[in-house]
Every structure is written in C-alpha cells, then in structure tokens.
Chain A
Amino acid sequence: MTTPSALIEDKDEITRRSSPSGQDWIPPQRVFVFGATSAIAMATQRLLCEKGSSSFFLVGRHVDRLEAVAADLRVRGASLVVTAAADLDDTASHPSLIAQGIESLQGMDLALLAHGVLGDQQRDEASYSATESVLLTNVLSPISLLTWLGNYCEREQHGCLAVISSVAGDRGRQSNYIYGSSKAALTAFLSGLRNRLHRSGVQVLTIKPGFVATPMTAHMKLGPLAATPEQIATGIVKAIRKRRDVVYLPWFWAIILGIIKAIPERVFKGLKT
C-alpha cells in the first residue's frame, strides 16, 4: 500500500516553499510600495511576502485601506509593515516620505511605483487643468519619487526600481492619449534612468500591463484579453527575479503593440482607435 506522503500531489510545491523561487533566489527584503492599495500592488505585495520579502513600507491615500492591506501582509508572515498615508501628488512631501521609509526599514531593496489614474479622455481633452492633473499624478509624481529613489540607489550601488507604466504609452490613440502620453513620458524617463543607473548595479524595470481587471477599469468592458492582478503580479515578481528591463504583461501584448507600432502614421491617423 502507498503511504500517505507518497500521495502528495505536488512535490515541487514543497521544494518551492523551502526555497521560495525554486532556485536560490532571495527576494528583495525591504520593499517600498507607492500606491499600495492598488490592485496590482496588493497582489504583488502578497506574492513577494509569500516568497519571503520581510518588510514593507506602504504608501497610499486611505488610512483604513492601508491598514487592511498591512494586516493582510502581517498575517501572511511579513515581520514589519509600516504604512504612511500621503497624497503623492504633493511632490514636496516626497523627500521626507522616502526618508521615513528608509529609516523605518533600515534601507530599501525594491521600490514598486503603482499609483496612477486612468482619467477620462473626453473630460480631460476638453480641459487643460484636468489634463494637467493626470500628468501630475502619472508623470511628475513618479518622476519626483524616482529622482530621490534613483539617487539613493546610486549612492548605495544597490536596489530595484519597478514602475508600472502601460502598453498605452507605446502609441497615442484618440481614445486615451492623455493617459497614454503620461505613460509614454514615464517610459522614456525610465529608459534614461536605467541607462544611468546600469553601472551602479541598479535594476530599473518598466512594467507595461495590458488590460487588467482592477478598480481603475471596473467601468470598462475589458474583453477576453483582460488579465487578473494576480497574473500581473506573477509577471512582475518574475521580471524582478530575472532582472529584466521592460516587460509586457501578459507577454502577448508585446506582439500586439509590435503590430500597432508598425502601422504608418498616415494610415494610423485615419483609424478608429
């Protein structure tokens, strides 16, 4: 007769738990997350926690929501979770916020920038101030954070900066070019920052998700290509582990955007996009 232990269905699972990645990968221990109550951030934090990340500095707007997210991570084994409620549009507060995080966690190994707004194209294109507000949240705020974080990492010669951009930044379309151009600016900034920090051994990861079912897209009909935040989180953690530069998540968006980018502008301008 077979013994119970011989019937365990997934022996790999056991190996994976004893060494989180299945190889000898130690996940970043001290993790900063900006926009920590966003769906992709929550899924990524959970996964990192399960893989062995030990301490988290979580920044978001709502105190109650941050507390619920922090409780979830503590329960799942994080040894230290510090939260800070802040409006990240207030770029003047960024230096002290980052200093608070570095002091609380005694350093930083990974920063995930996950805050952003989708905006409302029709409303925003009618008003510059609405456009400006989207650009403030999606471009200036992360660029401010990345300035301080990038300088910190360069000094330490260490760290990973993982930033959520979007496939929408690859080409402006009439249906969402304000959001798209904000992500395009962010992508270009990251490309330059990566170039600069490469010789300091710092990873700069540009994350380009396609459609993801999150509160940001809850009002949209997403169709069959939509991914879950958990799928995106798996892709993010894998890209951090493999020290990738740019990832499309899920991968097939790389092909879709390859095609979209290949359309000549004189044709593209006449399309309904």
Chain B
Amino acid sequence: MPLFWADEFPRKIPTGLTALPAGLARSYGDVGLNENNALLVASAMNRILAWDEKTGIIRCEAGLSLAQLLEFCVPRGWFPPVLPGTKFVTVGGAIASDIHGKNHHVAGTFGCHVRSFEIVRSDGAHAVCSAEQNADMYRATIGGMGLTGLITWAEIQLRPIISPQIAYVGTKFHGLEEFLALSQASKAEYTVAWIDTVSGGKNFARGIFMEGDHSAADDPLVAGKGARLPFPIDLPAAALNRTTVGLFNFAFYHKQLGHRVNHFMHYDPFFFPLDAVHNWNRMYGKAGFLQFQCVIPAEAMGEMMRVVSKAGLSSFLAVLKVFGDVRSPGMMSFPKPGWTLALDFPIRGDRTFELFDRLAYMTLEAGGRLYPAKDARMTASQFQRFYPQWRDFSQFMDPGFSSSFWRRVSK
C-alpha cells in the first residue's frame, strides 16, 4: 500500500495488521517483507525539504532514492557520504539497514552521517531523534530494519566533491595474503575486491582489488543517467553453471590486461556496475538466487573461501572487503571490524541451502555475523547469537510494526 504523505500515517494501517515501511525493495531476503500484513511503500515521499549549499547538509523525506539524491547533489558539488552497490535504495532504507559501502574503512556506515530524523509511531506519536535528542531511539532506528516506526524525514551530512570522476586503480591478486597486503597498503577512500570463488588450484582466491578516489580535476559536475538496459527475460535455470560462471570469471579477470591499471571513470559505473542492467536478477531464472554476506575475522576467511570453492555452486558476484573500526551509532548495525564476504548463488535446491547453512555455522564459529538485509536463511538462534543485543532493541520497536524477518528470527 503506497504512502504519499507523512500525514497519511498511521491511519493508513489496516486495523488488525502490523505495518512495515518499504522503499524500493532492494533487500534480498524477508527483512523488507511483511507476509499477510501491511507494507507501507513510501518511495513517493521523496521531497527535499531543506538544503544548505555551504555545509552540505540535506533534509529530505525518507522515500528519496540515492539515485535522486545523486541527481540533486552532484551538480551542486556534493556527494552522498556512503553508497551501496545500487543507487536504487531510499534514504529510509539506507538508515533501516545501516548500509555500508566501499569507504567503510574510513567513513563507517550510512548511519554515521545521519544527523537526525523524525520517527512517527503507529500510535501517532512522533519524535525527532539525533545523537543528543532521543538518543536511544536514534540508535535503535539506525540498522533497526524499519521496526521502530516510520522515518518521515532525515538530515544527512554530504561530502564535497570537485569532480564526478573517480580515479580508479585495479590490481590483480592471487590469494588472500596478497589481498591483505593490498588492503593494508591502500590509501584510497574506496576499496573493494572482486574475487573468483570458482577456480581452485593456482587460481584459488584470485581477484581484482579495486581502489577509487574522487578526482581532484575540475570536471563538469554531471550526475549519472537514469537510462538503463533492460534484462528482458528470465534465463533458464541451467544458464548459470560452473562452466558459464567460470568463463565469466575468466573474462572478468583477464579483461584487465595488465597486472595493474589506472584510469578515470564516472562514479556511476564505479559504484553501480549492476544498475546498468535493469532487472539483472532475471539472469538467475525463475528460481532466483540467494545472497550471503558475513563479516568474520580475517583468519577465518581462507577456510570459508575453500568451502565455497569446493561446493562447486557458482557465485560470480563475489565481493570481499575489509571493514574498518568506525563505530556506527546503530544498535543493530551489521558491520564490525573484520572482513566481509558477499556472495550470490542461483538456487539449486538443497545443495544451495546446505552450503548456506554451513557458511552460517562457520560465521558463528568464527565470532562473526550475517547481514539481515541479505539473509533469507539464518535461524532464530543464530540471529540471537549474532545480535545478542536484540532483546534490548526489541523494547524500542513499534508495537504495531513487524516483518517476516523479525517473526522468523525472534521466535
């Protein structure tokens, strides 16, 4: 059910049902679903309420997407403080999942840059929250999976840019030691690695370490374009297999000819390579795919990579990144110091689920945690061990709010 104005809430919640705010539905699992209950889709609440060109502080309604934010702020010489792998998420969603990006090691999560927001509860009460004012509610709402009430607007600190271009450096690596060395040596604001999880032997854990910094050249400040290529059909399930993904990985790795390349590129392909293809998820066919993202200590990553590679289930969008120690104000925030690995697998029945359960178990053993925004499988007991603060958090939940995810993990 769409929500166009803050004043329609909470009377739009059907009686007897729980509510969950929704944005552009880019979470992978059930954290954005509310089965048999109400979803309040707020992406039409996308007005910008205040803007200070000198300080880069913007106040916008929570349904504003990062794509719309970029279109607004880039020509004015400002940039979102944190960007995820797609620009088709709303500000409200970015807060609810306390998203992170390629600059986590220096900038922390999105929530670190949220100065304040207004939250409206299902009983009609509303409060402005910040680190100083209603601080508990502020902390609970950042990473709070939309469960603490409806965020109507938020005030965000942007960062200045001179150019929309990114000075990009791509470096090939073999194995996690080389990845670690590159990560430690890097001074870049944005770092991430694509990693081959299919190949074994001498190609085990090969990848490309990608670094980026905002260019200091005085280029015209042009935002990225909205136009995208469609992915018009669901591919048959067999289309993605070990061979085709192996070929993709081979091509991706060897597309970069030299060991190290550097050039300038627009921020759009640097941050959002997949947004270029609309509905890219359809390449996984009707059965779809599962996402997995964990953060674990660096020492545990080698073993996990070996398990993934041996399982023979092809993941070709595998991403590895070192998280930093900038603390988020969010109570339930996912990132913490360590390495984060994000994978996606076409669903091939029980084999896929068994691998996921194994990886979740390994994450738990290593003292890591999984990311609710990318989860469809973790058990209640796993969630409660990943996030032992969940009971404290639940005190701040709106009693009229719930989600499929929450019902699954709070049992």
Q: Which residues of A contact B (CB under 8 A)?
A: 1-5, 7-10, 13-14, 17, 37, 39, 42, 62, 64-65, 68-69, 71-72, 75-76, 215, 218
Write out the residue numbers on chain B whose beta carbons fall within 8 Å of the beta carbon of A37.
5
The answer, among A9, A71, A72, A215, for a CB contact under 8 Å with B4, is A215
Write out the residue numbers on chain A whose beta carbons fall within 8 Å of the beta carbon of B4.
39, 215, 218
Q: A4-B163, A76-B72 are in contact. Are A64 and B7 (CB under 8 A)?
A: yes
Contact with A along B1-31 (1 / 0, CB 8 A): 1101101000000000000000000000000
- Report Cα–Cα, A215/B41, bound state, in Å: 12
Q: Once the chains bind, are B75 and A7 in contact (CB under 8 Å)? A: no
Q: Once the chains bind, are B51 and A4 in contact (CB under 8 Å)? A: no
- Report Cα–Cα, A10/B50, bound state, in Å: 29
Q: A9-B268, A14-B220, A68-B61 are in contact. Are A4 and B50 (CB under 8 A)?
A: no
Q: Once the chains bind, are A4 and B222 in contact (CB under 8 Å)? A: no
Q: How far in angstroms is the closest Cβ of chain A from B129?
A: 20
- Report Cα–Cα, A245/B50, bound state, in Å: 37
Q: How far in angstroms is the closest Cβ of chain B from A65?
A: 6
Interface of chain A, main secondary structure: helix
Q: How far in angstroms is the closest Cβ of chain A from B338?
A: 35
The answer, among A7, A17, A68, for a CB contact under 8 Å with B266, is A7
Q: Once the chains bind, are B48 and A71 in contact (CB under 8 Å)? A: yes
Q: How far in angstroms is the closest Cβ of chain A from B272?
A: 13
Write out the residue numbers on chain A whose beta carbons fall within 8 Å of the beta carbon of B263.
1-2, 7
Q: Once the chains bind, are A76 and B48 in contact (CB under 8 Å)? A: yes
The answer, among B1, B50, B61, B264, for a CB contact under 8 Å with A7, is B264
- Report Cα–Cα, A176/B72, bound state, in Å: 40
Q: Once the chains bind, are B1 and A68 in contact (CB under 8 Å)? A: no
- Report Cα–Cα, A80/B94, bound state, in Å: 32
Q: Once the chains bind, are A5 and B222 in contact (CB under 8 Å)? A: no
Query: What are 27 inter-chain pairs, A to B, with CB distance below 8 A?
Result: A1-B263, A2-B263, A4-B215, A4-B217, A4-B264, A5-B219, A5-B220, A7-B264, A8-B220, A8-B222, A9-B266, A10-B225, A13-B222, A14-B222, A37-B5, A65-B5, A65-B7, A68-B49, A68-B61, A69-B47, A71-B49, A72-B48, A75-B50, A75-B51, A75-B72, A76-B72, A218-B1
B44 within 8 A of A: yes
Q: Once the chains bind, are A218 and B217 in contact (CB under 8 Å)? A: no
Write out the residue numbers on chain B whose beta carbons fall within 8 Å of the beta carbon of A215.
2, 4, 44
